[in-house]
């Protein structure tokens, strides 16, 4: 299955949600060049506003480009509905709640021979 971390930008709308759900479901990332729909994958969809943390200035991240909670909750619900309409098993947590999620990544890694 897939663990899908959803960050919602302040300018995102339902058109962006439709695009990203379709793109995610049709990525050919599983064996035999298959996608989530092909293998009837289980999906864990998690709201993660910290994906928009900007640390270009200073040492404390700014989340000013993340959508505010109330409109983001509505757009996240829209995202969940679109994933659920596929018939796949979709699970999520509670929006804006503190969650501890353990992820085991099973796939190719990325290797650097040197730091720079």
Q: Give catalytic residue positions.
A: 48-50
- Which of 18, 98, 5 is CA-nearest to residue 52? 5
8 A C-beta contact, residue 95 and residue 84: no
CA 103/CA 98 separation, integer angstroms = 16
β-sheet bridge partners, residue 4: 45
Q: What angle do CA 74, 39, 82 make, to 5 degrees?
A: 15
């Amino acid at each position: 299955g897939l663990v899908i971390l959803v960050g919602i930008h302040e300018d995102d709308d339902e058109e962006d949600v439709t695009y990203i759900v379709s793109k995610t479901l049709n990525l050919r990332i599983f064996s035999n060049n298959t996608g989530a729909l092909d293998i009837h994958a289980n999906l864990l969809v998690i709201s993660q506003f910290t994906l928009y943390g900007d640390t270009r200035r200073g040492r404390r991240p700014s989340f000013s480009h993340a959508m505010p909670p109330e409109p983001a909750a509505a757009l996240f619900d829209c995202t969940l509905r679109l994933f659920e309409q596929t018939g796949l098993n979709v699970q999520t947590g509670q929006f804006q709640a503190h969650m501890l999620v353990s992820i085991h990544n099973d796939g190719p890694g990325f290797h650097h021979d040197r730091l720079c």
